[in-house]
């Protein structure tokens, strides 16, 4: 996808992309679900776990619920992938601070308090990407812009869009949807994420720079360390 996130764009513009070696794989126990009423949505099953993890990390509990459901669903959709929530959390931290970019907050429905739309990709500062969605997701009918907490380019969203909260639609501004969609993309690009090479390949598919890989790895490793005894 070659991430074009709010933060990742600045990282990519600031450095070249020398050959990148694999980063150490963060290892972490899986989230613990607690059965809840079906009407509450799949994210509610991870509310207790998310509250505990949020108290140990600077990650909103609501974002953690999105990441946990994505890990659970990818375990069924791509069982050989071994995607973990800390990978998605590492990317979410680097891209938009888990939907909190620019003093936003992440709301109870998994959406940022204001939509997140990246800079115009008109070639003046970043790569040139002509409009692919008639402005449907980014409000720009001339050039594409990355959208949502995990910063999908509209064309990539068209390929990977997934309803992650069972509300009947897929919205890149909804972290529930974006997390499962990003998980599918990472698994397709990285293959087996339970290896340093596969994990690094997946993250680099988001943004092929050394700085980006190391930033995501550092965040993911910190989350794994903070929750290792859960």
For the stretch 56-107, pLDDT in tens is 999 999 999 999 999 999 999 999 999 999 999 999 999 999 999 999 999 9
What domain range is 155 assigned to?
A: 6-15+41-226
Instruction: Count structural domains, the chain.
Output: 1
**179: in domain:** yes
CB 177 within 8 A of CB 171: yes
**213: in domain:** yes
Residue 9 vs residues 105, 116, 133, 151, 179: alpha-carbon distances, Å: 21, 14, 20, 10, 19
DSSP structure string for 77-109: H-TTT---HHHHHHHHHHHHTTTTGGG--B-TT
Ranges 8-17, 32-41, 118-127, most confident: 118-127
CB 120 within 8 A of CB 153: no
**In a 3-state reduction of DSSP, which class is residue 130?**
strand
Output the pLDDT for position 37.
Answer: 64
Output the pLDDT for position 49.
Answer: 96
**28: in domain:** no
d(C-alpha 131, C-alpha 147), whole Å: 13
CB 154 within 8 A of CB 170: no
CB 25 within 8 A of CB 194: yes
Q: How far is CA 58 from the centre of its chain?
A: 16
pTM attached to this predicted model: 0.88
CB 83 within 8 A of CB 70: yes
**In a 3-state reduction of DSSP, which class is residue 112?**
strand
**57: in domain:** yes
């Amino acid at each position: 996808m070659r991430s074009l996130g709010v933060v990742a764009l600045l990282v990519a513009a600031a450095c070249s992309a020398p050959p990148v070696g694999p980063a150490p794989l963060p290892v972490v126990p899986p989230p613990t679900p607690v059965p809840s009423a079906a009407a509450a949505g799949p994210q509610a099953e991870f509310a207790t776990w998310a509250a505990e993890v949020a108290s140990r990390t600077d990650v909103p509990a609501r974002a953690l619920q999105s990441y946990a459901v994505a890990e659970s669903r990818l375990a069924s959709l791509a069982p050989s992938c071994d995607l973990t929530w800390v990978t998605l959390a590492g990317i979410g931290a680097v891209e938009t601070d888990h939907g909190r970019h620019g003093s936003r907050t992440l709301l109870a429905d998994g959406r940022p308090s204001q939509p997140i739309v990246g800079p115009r990709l008109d070639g003046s500062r970043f790569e040139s990407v002509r409009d692919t969605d008639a402005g449907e997701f980014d409000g720009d009918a001339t050039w594409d812009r990355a959208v949502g907490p995990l910063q999908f380019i509209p064309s990539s969203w068209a390929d990977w869009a997934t309803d992650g909260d069972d509300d009947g639609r897929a919205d890149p501004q909804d972290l529930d949807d974006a997390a499962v969609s990003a998980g599918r993309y990472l698994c397709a690009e990285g293959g087996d994420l339970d290896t340093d090479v596969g994990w690094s390949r997946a993250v680099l598919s988001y943004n092929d720079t050394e700085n980006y890989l190391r930033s995501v790895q550092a965040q993911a490793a910190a989350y794994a360390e903070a929750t290792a005894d859960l």
